[in-house]
Amino acid sequence: MRLTNRLLRRIIDEEVSSFGDMSTTEDRAGDAIEIDADEFGSDKAREKKIDFMKALKIEETRLRRRIIKISEARRQLLRRI
């Protein structure tokens, strides 16, 4: 089957019709929650992010140690084979 302009337009029209009712940006704007810019930079939010970063660093260190132990055990097993 050849892909002609007419066939391509029909396929596109079928796909567009399957989307259903499309809402406009004005309709969707009423659903949005507005947050003041000063709330994004609050100290508590910044502190939470810093604490989370510290926790991630601790977890990363723990995982790196575990990877080293696993790779060492693997090396020893490979030597025995």
Mean pLDDT (whole number) for 24-31: 69
Q: Dmax over Cα atoms in the chain, in whole Å?
A: 69
Global confidence as pTM: 0.44
Mean pLDDT (whole number) for 25-47: 70
Question: What's 23's DSSP letter?
Answer: P
> CA 67 to CA 69: how far, in whole Å?
5
Mean pLDDT (whole number) for 71-81: 92
**In 3D, which of 38, 36, 59, 56 has the Cα closest to residue 48?**
56
